[in-house]
Every structure is written in C-alpha cells, then in structure tokens.
Amino acid sequence: MTHLDFTRRGLLGGVAALSAAGSVGFARGAFAAAAPKLPARGNFVIRKAYVMTMEKDGDIKDGDVHVRDGVIVAV
C-alpha cells in the first residue's frame, strides 16, 4: 500500500489547475456571456478572521487582513 502525503499547497494547486482547465471549456460553451461590470475596488480591513496561510508556521487565529484594490497587502 502506498502512503500519500497531502499538503494544503498541493491540494489548492490541483484544484486551481482543474478549475482553470474547466473554465476554458465553459467559456467556449453556450453559457459564455459578457461578464457584468464589477464595482470599484476599495481599501478595507477584515478583522478577527481565521486566516489560512500557505506557510509552515500555520494558520492565524483572530488575524486581520488588509485589502487594497482587490490585493492582500498585509496580514
């Protein structure tokens, strides 16, 4: 019997690859439509959140995440 080591990074990478591959076929299908216009992105902080990291140090309980224009700039 083979022992498999699953990591969060490997799992999320695989899910992202499958999602990207599936979206290519979806975009070409009958369901392809013009994307609605997105609202303007802002500057906000999510407070007291359970932050799942990709680092070996582990996750952060009651962490804050600073988002500016749709990009995480600080944790």
**pLDDT at position 25, please?**
57
Round to whole Å and give the CA distance between 53 and 20. Answer: 22
> Number of structural domains, the chain?
1
Q: Is 56 inside a domain boundary?
A: yes
Asked if residue 1 is part of any domain, the answer here is: no
**pLDDT score of 33:** 65
Which pLDDT score is estimated for 58?
A: 87
Q: Which residues contact 9 (CB under 8 A, 6 or more apart)?
A: 54
pTM of the model: 0.47
Which domain does 68 fall in, by range? Answer: 8-74
**Per-residue pLDDT in tens (0 to 9) along the chain, 75 residues:** 566 666 777 777 877 777 776 665 555 555 556 777 877 788 999 999 999 988 888 899 999 999 998 889 999
